[in-house]
Amino acid sequence: MSSESAQQTYNKLDLLKLMYTSREGDRREGVLLRQSKGWFHVGGMGHESLAAIGTLMDRDDYLFGYYRDRAIMLAKGLTNQQLARAYFAKRDSSSGGRQMPGHYSSRELNIWSVCTPTGGGLLPACGAAWAMKLEGKQNCVVGSIGDASCRQGEFYEAVALAVERQLPIVFVVEDNRYGISSLTDHVNPFRMGIFADEIGTVMLDARHPDRVFEAAGPALEKARAGGGPTILHCELDRLCDHTSSDDQRVYRSEEEIAEMFTHDPIDLLAADLIEAGEITADEWENTKQEIDAQVDRDYLEAQEFEDPRPEEVLDHLLGPPPTPEPPPIEGGRKWRIVDALNATFRHGLETSDRYVFFGQDIEDPKGGVFGLTKGLSATFPERVFNSPLAEATICGVAVGMACYGMRPLFELQFVDFVGAGWNQISQNLATVRWRSFDDWPCPAVIYAPYGAYLPGGSLWHSQANESLFAHVPGLRVVIPSTPEDCAGLMWTAMHADDPTIFLIPKHRFRQQLDVPAELPAVPFGKAAVRREGNDVTLVTWGNCVELAYEAADCLAAECLIEVIDLRTIVPWDRETVAASLAKTGRLVVVQEDAESCSAGQMIITEMTGNQESWESFLSAPQLVSRADVHIGFNPIYEYAALPSTDDVIAAVRRTMED
């Protein structure tokens, strides 16, 4: 949209009505809450002037807002009644009743589902902006944030990436000088002078929508024209409590509150229009009464909509699993895991331009620290990129790019470093489909080398931590152990419409392993029976498959062990394990992860908690696991912590004693 066409949409009287509609909606929700008709309210009073930004946005522009953006949302196209339904948490609302009020979302209008963690939407916003740029779209992204959130590390990462990649994004910092009750003047990086003018920061008094419009118009046009990002630092006033759980009179004086209301943006714009003769004071009063009545009707109607259905609470955690296809590697020969994955990645890049790779050191000539992407950036330089040393950036950009419609395959150099990206994985990647009631699928793959049994890794290169991911609803967690399964499950994940955490056992990376001639498709949630046996069921995955083979060989004269390679932790194959247990009556689970709250404990609990499988047990199930301890640098420490073949043998023998 050109500046000229945008100017035609900027009707000040219409904008004033919209701003007042936003204000009256806030006021109405406050009244309803006091009447015990609702549970929570977060207001945008004083921020209504930012609606001018919404008038500048195209339908195809994306908005990553935050919870004070009620007026911008109305300007982008949401209706007041839609917001009313969200207040009452109705089934027919943007989240199906799963999000708090103020957490706006609309796939149709490209309004991404607001997340509560402050600043958590900006890295996904950068992901969407980068996807736009890769597609050559002449659109832009607006990402907003409160001033207190500017001290979040993810804010700096988002700005740095936007500048580095010259992304079509406008950051809107809504500075009302308070983070709940804390005055932010002395901690706000813009007031501290940390941000230089070279990165395109525009400081403005945003209490009047004219100034917002004049500043935002060039910023959006700059983004659409390929000129890169702009930060709009907007000074505003929060004319309400932080939320309905707050009372600003506790920490603000009556004089300060009264002074704020002297530059209420609605009053300022109304006074201008009355002075210009575009509306009289009486007409404005009549207009407000009409809006009041309409807002009242909106909430009365919204109150009658259907409530959420309890039986739907599990719906939309994940979409339907993909129909798996055979992996794109040649069978009947030896493969290494690293080569099988590389071949799968290459085939994906050759067959679809929606696949994008991003990770530390993954470009050539290195091709990743383990060579997983060797040769890919040389052939596909427009879709294989080195990332900064910033795991939150990797994970957050994956979220936004996937929600936009691309299929990111992003690498964490080691899964041990996931902590820096955990906010994005647990709060956005895993939740966005569920919290938007199926509006925002997120088809991203986060893959990482995983595990120990390679001396010298120490604490931060040796973790097996699948239980962390398995505990978060909305993620599929995959740990294959063979080249064909790595290729097959990666190919399945690359066609899924939900996020997959793909953990690759490092100890087996470069082993030359025979791959069968026939390579069937590998679905999620289907274990592989590696060896048949009638005496003991041994369930394992990843690096520990080797221990299972060794134990089965050593005990062949004593018992026949059925070795089950689980392959996926979420979902896991209960049926295959239960069927084997029914045959053997004995269960041993072997894992590399720490014992407490682990996947191994989960499997044993579910097997013993089910009446049918409980009756199959002839002896107590056994868990062979790493102790609840870290991996030390000296190999003595490493192997003292990890399960060994002898540990597995001892566990199997214990099950045979009863």
> With b meaning 16 or more CB within 10 Å and e meaning fewer, what string describes 148-180?
bbbebebbbbbbebbeebebbbbbbbbbbbbbe
> How long is the chain?
658
Which among 217, 228, 224 has a CA at the least distance from the CA of 5? 217
Compute the distance between CA of residue 318 and CA of residue 495 in angstroms, rounded to an integer: 14
Strands 476-478 and 500-505 turn out to be parallel
Among the options 41, 103, 242, 461, which is catalytic? 461
Q: DSSP 3-state assignment of 562? A: strand
194-203's contacts with Cβ under 8 Å and 24+ in sequence apart are 195/159, 195/231, 199/159, 199/163, 199/229, 199/231, 200/228, 200/229, 200/230, 200/231, 201/230, 201/231, 201/233, 202/230, 202/231, 202/232, 202/233, 203/233, 203/235
Q: Which two tokens stand for residue 14?
A: 């219409």
- DSSP letter assigned to residue 426: I
- For helices 281-303 and 80-87, angle between their N-to-C axes, nearest 10 degrees: 50
Which among 428, 397, 482 has a CA at the least distance from the CA of 125? 397
CA 74 vs. chain centroid, Å, equals 25
Q: DSSP 3-state assignment of 83? A: helix
Compute the distance between CA of residue 124 and CA of residue 395 in angstroms, rounded to an integer: 9
- DSSP letter assigned to residue 498: S
**Diameter over CA atoms, the chain:** 99
Q: Which two tokens stand for residue 171?
A: 């950051």
Q: Give yes or no: 208 in active site.
A: no
SS (H, E, C) 606-621: HHHHCHHHHCCCCCCC
Q: DSSP 3-state assignment of 478? A: strand
**Tokens 């993620």 appear where?**
475
Which among 581, 585, 603, 584 has a CA at the least distance from the CA of 593? 603
Active-site residues: which are they?
461
